[in-house]
């Protein structure tokens, strides 16, 4: 699935949209992030089930990694998560492309404890680097 060519109309839309993120002579890096429908709800939190790619430098590579995000929806890990939680195996996904900032550290904040579900417990995790760990 990762090797299936992205339709030319979709490629053109992605590449045209990236032009608005370009910044003069400075090298722009991109983050390509997956966001599946039904990924997070009151009963599920599928954070990390699907792929995210950081530090992409070439616009043509952004198109490639959008396809990799779509394909990650059908990895064993992702399909099994949906099956175990009674979700449809066939799901839809949006992919967000963002300009990356030069960061020394990155993190995630969950506004409800992911294990207990307690809304009074906020969990923040962070690490040095781009957050790939």
Number of H helices, E strands in the chain: 3, 5
* pTM attached to this predicted model: 0.78
What are the φ/ψ torsions at residue 113 (nearest 5 degrees)?
Answer: -60, 125
| pLDDT tens column, 25-79 | 678 889 999 887 766 666 666 667 788 898 899 999 999 999 999 999 889 988 8
| Residue in the block written with tokens 């339709």 | 7
- CATH 3.30.1490.20 residue ranges for the chain: 8-102
The two structure tokens encoding residue 73: 């929806």
Fold (topology level) of 8-102: Dna Ligase; domain 1 (3.30.1490)
The total of other beta-carbon atoms located within 10 Å of residue 13's CB is 13
């Amino acid at each position: 699935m990762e090797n299936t060519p992205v339709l030319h109309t979709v490629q053109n839309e992605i590449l045209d949209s990236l032009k608005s993120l370009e910044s003069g002579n400075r090298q722009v890096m991109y983050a390509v992030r997956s966001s599946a429908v039904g990924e997070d709800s009151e009963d599920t939190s599928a954070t990390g089930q699907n792929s995210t790619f950081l530090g992409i430098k070439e616009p043509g590579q952004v198109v490639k990694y959008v396809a990799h995000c779509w394909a990650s929806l059908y990895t064993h890990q992702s399909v099994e998560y949906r099956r175990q939680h009674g979700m449809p195996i066939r799901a839809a996904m949006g992919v967000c492309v963002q300009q990356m900032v030069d960061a020394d550290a990155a993190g995630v904040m969950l506004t409800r404890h992911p294990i207990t579900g307690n809304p009074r417990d906020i969990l923040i995790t962070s690490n040095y680097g781009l957050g790939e760990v």
